[in-house]
Amino acid sequence: MLKKIFVLFLLTVTGVALWQSFRHAPFGENRVGDVENPETVSAFYLKHSPETLHTANSVTAIVVNFRGFDTLGEVTVLFLAATGLASILYRRKEDEEEEGGHLPVRVKLKSSTLVRTGAKILFPLILLLGIYVFVHGHLTPGGGFQGGAIIATGFLLMFITYKRFNVNHKIMVWLESLSGLAFVLIGLYGLVAYGSFLQNIPWTGRLNDLISGGLIPLIYIFIGIKVATELTNVLDTLMNTKPRKK
């Protein structure tokens, strides 16, 4: 009882302190300022993503270009989370093999015909939607992370529907490595050609065209592939579907 009162007291104090500081945050007000003569960072972004980068979706311009370095870091965080997960779960599988190598216990019951047929039809459509989302990342809401996650849900559907659905690991490793590497290489191209890592090429096309924004759509496509393979790998590791070792 005393412990509960103490916890309640602590939460109240923390809550009041948080409210005290966050009530100064002017939510809902226009703090961007004049977009034509930008003084704040946000106004600068709003002005330059259509004018200089010719990218209709300014969120994408910020994520991939203005703050592209952060995005490279976030992609790496995802990659490392998958690697860390694999390193922790790796030997459990090996141990089980030594114990007699039973099959993955992913799905106990066979799914109904309805689910299996439905999944088969939906799977390519989900992949298509994912690809659409990341290819149009610079024009419409969404992008590499969202598209990649959509594709991974397609694989999740297949994993839970079919007992023995396996992804081709060789292709996954290649796609994963090469898409990550492509992001870094595009960045290095900027460093070599224009003197700044991740710098965009001067040719940015026409606003609202599919091929516009210079390297932005290309980077987002690679991010999409990377995120899709990474999340699928995470699902794969968790669902223990790795094929037996040679």
Partner 1 sequence: MVISPVHYIVAPLAAAFLIPLLNKLYDDAARVVPGIVLGYLVVVSAVLVPQVLHNGPITEIIAGWRPPFGINLVMTPFSAILALLVSFMAFVIWLYGFRFRRTLKGGVVMYYEILQMMMTAGALGIILTGDLFNMFVFVEIAGITAISLAAFYRDRDGAEAGFKYMLLGSLASVFLLLGILLLYTQTHSLNMAQIAERMPAVAQGVKIMALIFLLVSLGIEAEMFPLNSWAPDAYSQAPSPTSAAFAAVLGVAAVYALARVSYTLFDAQSVSMFLMVMGFLTMFFAETAAIAQTDLKRMLAYSSMGQMGLVMVALGIGNETALFGALFLIINHAVIKALLFMTGSYFIYNNNSKRLVALNGIHKRLPYVSFLFSLGALAIIGFPPFSGFWSKFYILSGAAKRELLPLIIGILAITIVEMTYYLRVIGRIYFGKEETEPASHKPSINALVAMTSLAVIIVVLGLYPDLISGYLHKASMFLLDKQAYIQNVLSVK
Footprint of partner 1 (CB under 8 A): 17-18, 20-22, 24-26, 31, 40-42, 44-45, 65-70, 72-74, 76-77, 79-81, 83-88, 90-92, 94, 173-174, 176-178, 180-181, 184-185, 187-188, 190-192, 194-200, 245
* CB distance 143 to 63 below 8 Å: yes
What angle do helix axes 216-239 and 144-161 make, rounded to 10 degrees? Answer: 30
| CA distance readout (Å), 141 to 23, 51, 136 | 30, 19, 8
Cβ 12 to partner 1 shortest distance, Å: 16
Cβ 38 to partner 1 shortest distance, Å: 9
User: Length of the chain, please?
Assistant: 246
C-beta closer to partner 1: residue 8 or 88? 88
68 burial level (CB within 10 Å; 0-12, 13-18, 19+): buried
Cβ 19 to partner 1 shortest distance, Å: 10
Cβ 154 to partner 1 shortest distance, Å: 23
For residue 210, give the DSSP letter: S
C-beta closer to partner 1: residue 29 or 113? 29
C-beta closer to partner 1: residue 8 or 191? 191
C-beta closer to partner 1: residue 128 or 185? 185
C-beta closer to partner 1: residue 77 or 210? 77
43 burial level (CB within 10 Å; 0-12, 13-18, 19+): middle
Cβ 209 to partner 1 shortest distance, Å: 22
C-beta closer to partner 1: residue 199 or 241? 199
Task: Find, among 187, 201, 210, the residue nearest to 56 by Cα.
Answer: 210
Cβ 172 to partner 1 shortest distance, Å: 10
C-beta closer to partner 1: residue 118 or 205? 205
- Amino acid 147 reads G
Residues 6 or more apart from 196 whose CB is under 8 A from it?
190
* CB distance 177 to 171 below 8 Å: no
Cβ 15 to partner 1 shortest distance, Å: 13
Report the C-alpha gap between 170 and 168 in whole angstroms: 6
